[in-house]
Copies of this chain bind each other. A is one copy, B any other.
Amino acid sequence: MQFEISSELIEKIRFLIEENNNEEILLHLEDVHHADLAEILTELSLEEATYLIKLLDHEKTAEALIELDEDARERILQLLNPREIAQELEEMDTDDAADIISELTPERQQSVIAELVDEEHADHIVELLRYDEDSAGGLMAKELVKVNENWSVTGCMTEMREQAENVTRVHSIYVVDDRNKLKGRLSLKDLLTAPSNSNIRDVYIPQVDYVNVHTEGEEVARIMQKYDLEAIPVVDEMGRLVGRITIDDIVDFIKEEAEKDYQMASGISESVEADTGLLRQTRARLPWLLIGMFGGLGAASIINGFETIMTTFPKLLIFVPLIQATAGNVGVQSSAIVVQGLANGTLKGNIFRRLFKEIILALVNGLSIAIIVFIISSFWFETSYNESVSIGIALMSVIIIAASIGTLIPFMLDKNNIDPAVATGPFITTSNDIFGILTYFLIAKAILGF
């Protein structure tokens, strides 16, 4: 069943575009799914892709444009005039249309909106542009099926068929009162099985999950996931039904968030993909490398400050990489657990209970590692008894400190409304590098006295 885009197909389409053989192109791409068309567009040159967008049915190209990644879409839209863009937007659901318009410059936004023929559609898009893109208002679409509680089931069926024309998928039918306030819901199944002489008022389900236009996207995702919802209605400050969010948008949202977190943990600060250009890749990566660099130079200053160590106990220096690696690894582990716990709500109880648990864990892991290193350093690296003791105690302390820092920083960021995920990766690693090495030398100094 899977459609595979072969390089033959791409070559064929390239050739047909060059020949301006529109009939053949239409024949080849008639039955292609819009998601596959989007993949084909990314394989073509910018000019070729734009040629196809202008040639093919707007219904299909509009959907394909939605699927494209932002960079590619931006380049194609630059080659279209406002009228052509408006034609694509007419075919989109309001949420997708608003997302795409918001990527244009303010001047272009205005001229595109002016070209929209369907006034209601234009109205809806303008309304959606007002909301923050990560809020429920920014995620919702205006397309939905709603019925008045005072209607009859038969009247409702007729009205509903009409509304359903504009809605790709009917998940739930929302029930509102005369002032458009959300009262409840009905499923198509309920409507099918309801006696036809009854009123909506008698058959609807008054319990309905909903969110407010200002609810954050993450919260919407959490609610929809927790209650296994496939769509959720959105109300305004007055409780009036203004839109609905469907699960496919939430799936995309969850995926994007997960990718962002993963990249953040890997020290990539801007959303990039394998095919993103060099400049943006550098902009996304260099900042973390610079933080790491200053961390490394900080560590160098510390070692430099303990100058006498080099002459009196040079053996201690060879364990610096071990201390540093251990501090980094422990810190990342602890912070990852907290970041994830904060994100999915499994982290209950207060900070101190969490910290206590991490310290117990650190003691267990630290003791295991300290004993192994004590033995190996004594026998393999022939460190003195006091040196080995210093290394072992330092390792234990470093592990406990790293676990504490790794636990506390995400909590602190979260309290200050900063995404705790920024704490993982190079940030924790760098601060742990510095604290780790400082701790190591201070303990060694206390025990060995230099």
Contact = CB atoms under 8 A, between A and B. Distances in A.
Nearest to A341: B274
A325 B429 contact: yes
Interface in A106-153: none
Interface stretch (A14-22, A81-89, A195-203, A360-368): A360-368
B295 A325 contact: yes
B1 A330 contact: no
Contacts of A254: 251, 254-255, 258
A417 to B, nearest CB: 20
A352 interface: no
Nearest to A69: B346
B189 A329 contact: no
A272 interface: yes
Contacts of A255: 225, 254, 258, 344
A186 interface: no
Contacts of A354: 274
Contacts of A12: none
Given A248-B228, A346-B273, A281 B361 contact: yes
A443 to B, nearest CB: 17
A281 B324 CA distance: 22
Nearest to A212: B1
A242 to B, nearest CB: 15
Given A254-B254, A282-B364, 12 more contacts: A67-B226, A161-B192, A164-B192, A225-B248, A265-B336, A273-B341, A274-B340, A293-B372, A297-B376, A304-B381, A310-B317, A314-B314
Interface of A: 1-2, 31, 33, 35, 67, 69, 157, 161, 164, 169-170, 188-189, 192-193, 207-211, 223, 225-228, 230, 247-248, 250-252, 254-255, 258-259, 261-263, 265-268, 272-275, 278, 281-282, 285-286, 288-290, 292-293, 295-297, 299-300, 303-304, 310, 314, 317-326, 328-330, 332-333, 335-338, 340-341, 344, 346-348, 354, 357, 360-361, 364-365, 368-369, 372-373, 376, 380-381, 424-426, 429-430, 433, 437
